[in-house]
């Protein structure tokens, strides 16, 4: 029943998206797309705003909450997570964490791994919704773009990681940008005149670092499955023949950082071109996608010239990927206010952060709003922290203390974690 309703939702979604794409008026299109996530979602599976979930444990929720012990689920495979598991924590074996989340994790989450001696993520509505749609999507069409947005600390990155874990378990090829904003901000000296395009700039250090992670994540695909379609010449003496595995191209970038940015372009082009072959499912995950559409970077040339983002080759390659002119895959993105450089960041909404140019570039996409904790999720988080000895004060464990913490943190996951850090 869930499947059929979801397909219905998808159909409506696509007609909406088509309508949105035709519509030139930005504001109306925004409103149209917006309803996909909030209004059109069928009432049964993900409840729109209420916390009750239509499941067998609906009967349990009438009991007083403090007695709840079900903040954990034994279902550790995110592929099987459904609305039934909302608000519960699932555990990832510690040994798997470096392979599942080599990059792109939230720093505060990663910090807690050590004291907790356990890695767990709460199953939340946005992630489950997106995974549900991904399960029933038609992969012969161009990829659906999912864009998560929400206030600071509301758990966008963790939801993205949750989805990526399920993609990892399904054996997808993952192209992951850990944080596009930090590329603009955190490198002051990493630029070089582009080898292939005059007037543009390469970022050798960042590119080779990205390639390293990309290689270790998808080594299996690069070694055997994907072969180069034509011959690439890197310099007078170095070239990659057609028909060689894509790994040799990646290794070229790692051995010669000068070519690293061009290598990214080649790799992404090959992945795009061969995506319809059906050998792999391509998942493009981008955190803080607004970084790619920002105006300025923090990189200053010796003359004082600030390099704009549209002169960076690496951003250019990934932006091309975001156009979605390929098949058999999905694009999952978040927009983020953190680390915005010289960009408006007082609002968290996509149109504001992406600005008109970026919005039109990504259009049509499915916006998914990541809310703060609901009552059930807050209770579950509280129970988890108490069970892990992270909340120690006796007063905090009382009903009054919980209300107090809820008020202080506004049920925002990030600020709740910060407040609990010293309790």
Partner 1 sequence: MALSTKFYGLSSKRELWLPLFTQVRFSRYKPTYVPPVVNRQSYEDGSLPLDISTPVKAAVGDITSAFTYDPLVHKFVNVMNKKGQKETVSKIMEKTFEIIKSKQVEKYNRASEMDKSSLETSPRVIFMKAIENCKPSMGLVTIKRGGKNYQVPSPLKDNRQRFLAMKWILQECEKKPLKMHMPEKLAQEFLDAFHDQGNVVKRKHDLHRQCEANRAYAHFRWW
Return residues touching partner 1 (CB under 8 A).
111, 114-118, 388-390, 392-393, 395-396, 400-401, 404, 421-423
Gap between the Cα atoms of 73 and 120, Å rounded: 10
- Four-point Cα dihedral 413, 417, 418, 420, nearest 10: 130
Cβ proximity to partner 1, 227 vs 423, nearer residue: 423
> How big is the CA angle at 245 (ends 242 and 251), to the nearest 5 degrees?
105
Shortest distance (Å) from residue 411 CB to partner 1: 18
Cβ of residue 378: shortest distance to partner 1, in angstroms? Answer: 17
- Degrees (nearest 5) of the Cα angle 127, 131, 134? 140
Instruction: Output 112 or 147, the one with its CB closest to partner 1.
Output: 112
- Min dist. Cβ of residue 92 to partner 1 (A): 16
Q: How many CA atoms lie within 13 A of 116 on its CB side?
A: 22
- Extract the tokens encoding 202: 């390469």
Distance (Å, whole) CA 149 – CA 334: 6
Torsion of CA 95, 183, 37, 44, to 10 degrees: 10
114 or 237: CB nearest partner 1:
114
User: Which residues 6+ apart lie within 8 Å of 255 measured at CB?
Assistant: none
Closer CB to partner 1, 146 or 378, in the complex: 378
Dihedrals phi, psi of 199, to nearest 5 degrees:
85, 0
Residue number with CB closer to partner 1 (62 or 389): 389
Q: Please, which residues have CB within 8 angstroms of residue 130's CB and are 6 or more apart in sequence?
A: 146, 148, 159, 163, 332, 368
Question: Among residues 86 and 396, whose Cβ is nearest to partner 1?
Answer: 396
Q: Which two tokens stand for residue 356?
A: 């008109």
CA separation for the pair 329, 323 (Å, rounded): 13
What minimum distance in Å lies between the beta carbon of 119 and partner 1?
12
Closer CB to partner 1, 105 or 316, in the complex? 105
List, in sequence order, the alpha helices (H) in 170-302: 180-185, 204-217, 219-220, 246-255, 260-273
- We find the least distance from the C-beta atom of residue 389 to partner 1, in angstroms, to be 5
Q: What is the DSSP letter of 4?
A: H
Report the run of H or E that residue 367 belongs to, with start and end. strand 366-370
Nearest approach, Cβ of residue 110 and partner 1 (Å): 12
Least CB distance from residue 377 to partner 1, whole Å? Answer: 22
CB 403 to partner 1: min, Å: 11
Complete DSSP assignment for 311-337: GBHHHHHHHHHHT--S-SEEEEEE---
What one-character-per-residue DSSP string does 112-141 give?
HHHHHTSEEEE--HHHHHHHHHHHT--TTS
User: 195 or 423: whose CB is closer to partner 1?
Assistant: 423
Closest to partner 1 by CB, 296 vs 408, is 408
Show the beta-strand stretches assigned E in 4-113.
Answer: 89-92
Q: Quote the least distance from Cβ 68 to partner 1, whole Å.
A: 22
Could you tell me the smallest distance in angstroms from the CB atom of residue 72 to partner 1? Answer: 15
Of the pair 291, 414, the CB lying nearest partner 1 is at: 414
Enter the tokens of residue 185.
């901000």
């Amino acid at each position: 029943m869930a499947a059929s309703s979801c397909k219905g939702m998808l159909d409506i979604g696509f007609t909406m998206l088509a309508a949105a794409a035709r519509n030139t008026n930005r504001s109306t299109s925004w409103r149209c797309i917006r309803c996909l996530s909030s209004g059109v979602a069928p009432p049964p599976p993900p409840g729109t705003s209420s916390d009750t979930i239509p499941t067998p444990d609906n009967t349990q929720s009438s009991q007083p909450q403090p007695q709840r012990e079900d903040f954990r689920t034994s279902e550790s495979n995110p592929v099987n997570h459904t609305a039934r598991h909302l608000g519960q924590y699932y555990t990832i074996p510690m040994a798997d964490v470096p392979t599942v989340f080599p990059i792109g994790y939230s720093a505060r989450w990663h910090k807690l791994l050590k004291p907790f001696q356990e890695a767990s993520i709460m199953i939340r509505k946005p992630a489950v919704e997106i995974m549900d749609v991904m399960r029933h999507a038609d992969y012969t069409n161009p990829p659906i773009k999912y864009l998560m947005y929400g206030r600071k600390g509301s758990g966008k990155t963790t939801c993205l990681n949750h989805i990526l874990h399920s993609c990892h378990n399904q054996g997808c090829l993952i192209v992951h940008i850990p944080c596009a904003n930090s590329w603009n901000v955190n490198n002051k000296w990493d630029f070089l005149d582009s080898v292939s395009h005059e007037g543009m700039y390469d970022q050798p250090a960042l590119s080779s670092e990205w390639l390293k992670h990309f290689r270790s994540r998808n080594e299996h695909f690069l070694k055997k499955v994907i072969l180069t379609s034509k011959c690439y010449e890197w310099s007078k003496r170095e070239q990659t023949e057609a028909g060689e595995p894509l790994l040799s191209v990646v290794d070229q970038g790692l051995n010669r950082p000068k070519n690293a940015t061009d290598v990214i372009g080649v790799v992404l082009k090959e992945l795009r071109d061969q995506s319809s072959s059906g050998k792999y499912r391509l998942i493009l995950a981008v955190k803080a996608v607004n970084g790619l559409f920002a105006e300025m970077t923090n990189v200053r040339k010796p003359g004082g010239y600030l390099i704009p983002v549209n002169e960076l080759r690496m951003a250019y390659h990934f932006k091309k990927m975001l156009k979605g002119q390929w098949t058999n895959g999905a694009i999952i993105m978040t927009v983020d206010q953190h680390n915005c450089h010289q960009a408006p960041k007082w609002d968290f909404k996509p149109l504001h952060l992406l600005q008109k140019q970026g919005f039109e570039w990504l259009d049509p996409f499915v916006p998914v709003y990541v809310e703060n904790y609901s009552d059930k999720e807050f209770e579950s988080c509280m129970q988890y922290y108490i069970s892990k000895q992270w909340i120690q004060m006796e007063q905090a464990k009382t009903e009054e203390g919980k209300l107090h913490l809820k008020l202080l943190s506004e049920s925002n996951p990030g600020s709740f974690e910060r407040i609990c850090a010293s309790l």
